[in-house]
Amino acid sequence: MPSTKLFSTLLFSLTLSLFLQTSFGADPLFHFCSNSQNFTSNSPYESKLKTLITSLIYKTPSTGFGVASVGQDQNQKAYGLALCRGDVSASDCKTCVSEAPKEILDRCPYNKGAIIWYDYCMFKYLDSDFFGQIDYSNRFYMWNLNNVSDPASFNYKTRELLSQLAQKAYVNNKLYASGELKLENSETLYGLTQCTRDLSSDDCKKCLDDAINELPNCCDGKEGGRVVSGSCNFRYEIYPFVKE
Ligand SMILES: *[C@@H]1O[C@H](CO)[C@@H](O)[C@H](O)[C@H]1NC(C)=O
Ligand SMILES: *[C@@H]1O[C@H](CO)[C@@H](O)[C@H](O)[C@H]1NC(C)=O
């Protein structure tokens, strides 16, 4: 699909600099501002958004996931969700979900909807109800610039590991799985898969399968890669990156 190609090409130069930044840990990976309306300073939406953000910062760290909606009037409600990576401690989760809204408000000022991703968490809000629906509109890829020496076999193993982890994640109560696979050259492939917990188990599986099918577009023959969306994501590397 030409649009997918264009998308990856555009993101390629971005990910180059993003990789350098994110090796230090706390900078955002990516963000999107939604196409929806803007709100104004001191408007009811602004105050609802503030309440929503406070609520998500409070709710999320204990379980690694939070959803909230604020407001009575259907047309004025704010909906939000925060998710921490499945292996992240409550305190690292709290740091991440506290930092995310500050950054997002800076990057998408007065926008009624936005989404931002970090290594440790994602944070999303919108002026319409998006809970329980697979997010097909917010998605990006990242990949390690290094090429593997045997792409065909490596790609096969990568798909095998991620498919196993998708099978594990969708039946897990946190919709999360991590694991590893030995490669022939005494290297190990490490991976994780995760969905937001507003999705049904079946939709989690569907979201991850769709993401895994993007492997050839995203990370063909690359030592590491991620497909990240508003509803699910995977990551694989040839070094351990999950805390356990
Ligand atoms: C919202 O504000 C941004 C930045 O000020 C502007 O570029 C955009 O056109 C506005 N969007 C709408 C829907 O008014
Ligand atoms: C990986 O392969 C691509 C395509 O063949 C090439 O353009 C790129 O320079 C290679 N990357 C590295 C780090 O060698």
The secondary structure of 132-178 as a DSSP string is TS---SSEEEEE-SPBPS-HHHHHHHHHHHHHHHHHHHHTSTTSEEE
CA distances from 118 to 25, 93, 221, 225 (A): 8, 11, 24, 15
Shared-domain flag, residues 158 and 94: no
Shared-domain flag, residues 28 and 118: yes
Tell how far the Cα of 39 is from the centroid of ligand 1, in angstroms. Answer: 9
**Residue 188 maps to which CATH number?**
3.30.430.20
Give a yes or no: residue 73 inside a domain. yes
Shared-domain flag, residues 149 and 79: no
User: What pTM, to 2 d.p., does this model score?
Assistant: 0.88
Shared-domain flag, residues 214 and 171: yes
Shared-domain flag, residues 156 and 207: yes
Shared-domain flag, residues 45 and 111: yes
Tell how far the Cα of 105 is from the centroid of ligand 1, in angstroms. Answer: 14
- Write down which residue in 126, 152, 173 finishes a domain: 126
Ligand sitting nearest the alpha carbon of 33: 1
- Write down which residue in 94, 126, 158 finishes a domain: 126
Which residue's C-alpha comes closest to atom 2 of ligand 2? 147
| Residue 38 Cα: closest atom of ligand 1 | 1
Give a yes or no: residue 206 inside a domain. yes
Q: Match 């809204």 to its residue by tokens.
A: 101
| Residue 111 Cα: closest atom of ligand 1 | 1
Shared-domain flag, residues 117 and 147: no
Indicate if the pLDDT at residue 237 is higher than 80. yes
Shared-domain flag, residues 188 and 218: yes
Give the residue, out of 12, 147, 154, 223, with the most ligand 2 atoms within 8 A of its beta carbon, to mutate for a pocket test: 147
% the chain with pLDDT above 70: 89
Dmax (CA) of the chain: 60
Measured distance CA(213)–CA(35) in Å, rounded: 27
Give a yes or no: residue 99 inside a domain. yes
53: part of which helix (H) or strand (E)?
helix 44-63
- Write down which residue in 126, 151, 182 finishes a domain: 126
- For 123, phi and psi rounded to 5 degrees? -140, 130
Which residue's C-alpha comes closest to atom 6 of ligand 2? 147
pLDDT digits (tens, 9 = 90+) for 8-50: 433 443 444 444 444 334 799 999 999 778 999 999 999 999 9
Shared-domain flag, residues 71 and 114: yes
User: Domain tally for the chain?
Assistant: 2
Residue 64 per-residue DSSP state: T
Indicate if the pLDDT at residue 206 is higher than 50. yes
Indicate if the pLDDT at residue 2 is higher than 70. no
What is the pLDDT at residue 113? 96
Which range marks the domain in which residue 28 is found? Answer: 23-126
